[in-house]
Structure 1
Amino acid sequence: MKRLTILCITFMTVWLLAAVTPASAENEEEDVKTEDVTLTDEQKKELDAMYQEYFAVHKDIINKYVEFGIMDQEKAEKKISFLDKHYEKLKENGFVMKWDDKKHKKFRDQDKKTSDE
């Protein structure tokens, strides 16, 4: 229960900070290349612990859905497998998010076009 409370408070804080951030800061962030960012071992350990806690809670929620009959076991296993793969990919990338993903590029381009008009 303590982990869930800490996790909820963390996400609410991040959400509030993102909502208050001015639009000009978003444009500046797009120019930052995440490929050049490297985290220290201490930062990686901190993010690793937070992600492990986040994924553990997420998996617990999925298992509760199975227990309550909302989701079948096959779908739950697929979701948990996706979470495991996502965690491994984050770990491989040194916990630096890859925002320049191709599948999201078209949406960023559309947003730029609408903001320029």
Structure 2
Amino acid sequence: MSQTATLTSSPDWPLQVKAPGMPDWERTATQWLRNLLPARYGGYLPLTRHPVLLTRHVRLQLEHETRAVRAALRTSRAELPAMGVAESVIEKTIRMYAVELEQLARLSRGVRLVSEALLMESAAPRRR
């Protein structure tokens, strides 16, 4: 099995991204990655024209989001009651943060796989 086949056979490979080597696979990878960033980043040409840079930025963005959600989860029980938030809402909020952490972890694994595939693609000799 090729290295790219191993990447795409992972359950973390994003369904929205075609397998490397298929027509438009880089376009689908770039589109998926752009959708993980706030919309304002869509206008930055270095990110939109260089998938490896886009991947790097998405990885950083997800790391920061994960830290923010962990901080929100960690401080919920201490800070939310003082803000007048009902206990039932606090419990729902804590569950929401836990689900979001799982989602961010899954997205981070998918971004890592797509990043590896893009790096392999850029390192491969071009056919003429």
- Range class of TM-score, shorter chain: 0.3 to 0.5
Q: TM-score, normalised by structure 1?
A: 0.37
